[in-house]
Amino acid sequence: MIMQKKAPPEDLRIGVYVCHCGANIASKVNVESTRDFAQKLPGVAVARDYKFACSDPGQELIQNDIRELGINRVVVASCSPQLHEKTFRKACADAGLSPFYCQMANIREHVSWVTSDPVLATRKAKALVAAAVRRLAWAKALETKRVDVHPDVLVVGGGIAGIHAALLLANAGKKVFLVEREPTIGGHMAQFDKTFPTMDCAACILTPKMSDVKNHPNIHMWTYSEVEEVAGFTGNFKVTVRRKARYVKEKLCVGCNDCVEACVLKKDKVQVPDEFNVGLSRRKAVYMPFPQATPACVVIDPEQCLQLMKGKCAQTCVEACERAAIDFDQTDELIEIDVGAIIIATGYKVFDARRIPQYGYGRFTNVYTTLEIERLVNASGPTGGELILRDGTLPKVVGVVHCVGSRDRRFNPYCSNVCCMGALKMAHLIKERTGAEVFNFYVDMRTAFKGYEEFYDQILSEGVQFVRGRVAEVTDWAMTEEEKGKLIIRVEDTLVGVARRIPVDMVVLAVGLEPQADAPEIQRCFNISCSNEGFFLERHPKLGPVSTFTDGIFLAGACQGPKDIPETVAQAGAAAAEALSLVDRGFVEIEPNTAWIDEDVCSGCKTCIPLCPFKAIKRDEERGIAVINEALCKGCGTCVAACPSGAAQQNLFTDEQIYEEIEGVLSYA
């Protein structure tokens, strides 16, 4: 598009408000000099500086100028528009000015916080203010579009976060689709034996909620299902869900397990490791994930079932099932649903301890992870709740290693948040079940929430020994008679300042939390962002902790970062409240940054049509011009940049506005 030399409107009365943001801006940017600079810019009627422009008196200052001085355009030079554009737009609207006559200059995030030299910072601030003033001349009083919101909500992931969020929304009368990838809901929490710090039995507090989900009239619980595609926008998402074939009719199966008994894969060696017991037991081709699985419905593993793999089997399961629930002809089903809001609660995976070979996991049979111990101490676990070594004897000395894979630059630099408390819980459970002597090897003890420090005190008083130091190695290389046949933990005891060798029978690795392996695919499917370590990124760490950069999509639980159960449940509640506030409001206001076609200029060349990712542009064959469907346009502006004749324009980002901004930032070096 060519640069148009139209004259800006003449009746401009611009007010410029330079914010100190306490000392955040004022300590680097000379706000008085910036104000004086702005005062002299063409079209500026008044320029002021103020301590906190976003505060009530700050907003009133702007509103008074609109009312009393007839200010008809407002520039706020303060923080990022991502933070307070809405605030100042609303302030303008409340004073009777179009919210789109408000323009922000980002002199905090982009200037004062990133520039060390005050002179250069002030210079940069002035350039950004000049650009905002010039850009504003071309602002239009746009209308905000209102779009109805679909009242249903999709929750992705059926762990404790998804369960809690789904129940809250369903109880509020909303229809909820709960989509879970595994054959049962419950997530990691279902695998736990006890929960810190109160040592509630995990199943006792979780399974009633699972059953509530199953029985709730407002919840469509779709297990063994995955979200395939997401289209649409806030308030109006179109989601395609793949319901994988489980080869069992969910409505008929009652979970009697007769088919499991009957399955011909009887020998251990032809069975596969059981996912729920983290490989500590084996399962058949047809299986129930665990006794309290919800739905109480078996599933057939197509990669192990002889009938499905080879088409040849005695089909004893079919014979055994009195309700004729087994159906080898089932196929995947794709269902399209409409929802107004989406909550992502896809959880985490545990760190793979094999990545630290010196800890011997996978090499020494008596090195376990915390998740494995959870299963071993669980009454419905593979040993019926007995915590025994691989040879069947009770351990006499156990070492619990903290920070495995966490706070380590070689693996994950972040703290996994839950492992200290988890490792303390392990120490307690091991002592309680076996009477063994327990050593905990920690780097720093992090027990910072309600009742946690008290729990640590309790474990201390139970006689668990604490060694401060990162474990160097777990070895079976005995150097003394006493060490023979044991695993030796080598560690520098940093409180005493000596290298120690501590022989133990069992090692428990407190593995950290990591993003799900397919988090990048989930991220792309839902069009959200990831932080550096791969967890989903919240919109704002303080003010939008469960929101994402995509409106209408919220985060709950450990998919956003490592968290324990209380924090996960609290966040799930917050996500449910955000979703409820969106769908109950009934409408959304869409930022009017859509593209439009200047019909007098468009030559109908069709350049823009294939560029639009949303298929929003069609050619009106009669008139020979392009037409943009405003409802489909999401406002990226790709067509505008491509239009050779300048017919395509984008509201809020017209060519004039951007050229003015370019000239503005360059007008003051």
Partner 1 sequence: MPEDVSLPIAEEFEPRIVAFFCNWCTYTASDLAGTSRMTYAPNTRVIRVMCSGRIDPQFILAALRGGADGVLLGGCHPGDCHYQAGNYKCLRRYRLLKRLLAQMGIEEQRVRLEWIAASEGDRVQKVTNEMVEQIRKLGPLNLEHIPAPDVDVDAEEPLAAAAEGAVS
Which residues contact partner 1 by CB under 8 A? Answer: 1-3, 5, 80-83, 106, 108-111, 113-117, 119-121, 123-124, 127-128, 131, 523-524, 527, 529-532, 537, 549-550, 593, 606-607, 610-611, 613-614, 634-638, 640-644, 650, 653, 655, 658-659, 661-663, 665-666, 669
Task: Specify whether the CB–CB gap between 282 and 274 falls below 8 A.
Answer: yes
315 or 667: CB nearest partner 1: 667
Write down the least CB distance from residue 131 to partner 1, Å.
Answer: 7
Write down the least CB distance from residue 659 to partner 1, Å.
Answer: 6
440 or 654: CB nearest partner 1: 654
1 or 219: CB nearest partner 1: 1
Task: Specify whether the CB–CB gap between 259 and 307 falls below 8 A.
Answer: no
Write down the least CB distance from residue 658 to partner 1, Å.
Answer: 6
131 or 317: CB nearest partner 1: 131
Task: Specify whether the CB–CB gap between 374 and 190 falls below 8 A.
Answer: no
385 or 544: CB nearest partner 1: 544
Q: Which contiguous run of DSSP H or E holds residue 65?
A: helix 56-68
Write down the least CB distance from residue 537 to partner 1, Å.
Answer: 6
Question: Contacts from 95-98 at CB under 8 Å and sequence distance 24+?
Answer: 95/62, 95/63, 95/66, 95/67, 96/66, 96/67, 97/66, 97/71, 97/72, 98/141, 98/142
Q: Which residues contact 430 (CB under 8 A, 6 or more apart)?
A: 373, 377, 387, 395, 398, 400, 436, 438, 508
Write down the least CB distance from residue 123 to partner 1, Å.
Answer: 7
d(CA 436, CA 439): 10
Write down the least CB distance from residue 146 to partner 1, Å.
Answer: 20
Q: Which of 24, 122, 19 is nearest to 74 (CA)?
A: 19
Neighbour tally for 258: CB within 10 Å: 16
Task: Specify whether the CB–CB gap between 14 and 130 falls below 8 A.
Answer: no
d(CA 227, CA 337): 10
133 or 373: CB nearest partner 1: 133
Q: Which of 618, 606, 475, 565 is nearest to 164 (CA)?
A: 565
Write down the least CB distance from residue 135 to partner 1, Å.
Answer: 9
92 or 230: CB nearest partner 1: 230
DSSP three-state, residue 377:
helix
113 or 449: CB nearest partner 1: 113
Write down the least CB distance from residue 627 to partner 1, Å.
Answer: 17
Q: Which residues contact 277 (CB under 8 A, 6 or more apart)?
A: 375, 381, 382
Which DSSP letter does residue 591 get? P
d(CA 528, CA 591): 18
d(CA 292, CA 186): 9
301 or 538: CB nearest partner 1: 538
Write down the least CB distance from residue 587 to partner 1, Å.
Answer: 22
d(CA 562, CA 511): 12
399 or 664: CB nearest partner 1: 664
Task: Specify whether the CB–CB gap between 170 and 358 falls below 8 A.
Answer: no
Strand 219-222 and strand 176-179: the pairing is: parallel
Write down the least CB distance from residue 413 to partner 1, Å.
Answer: 13
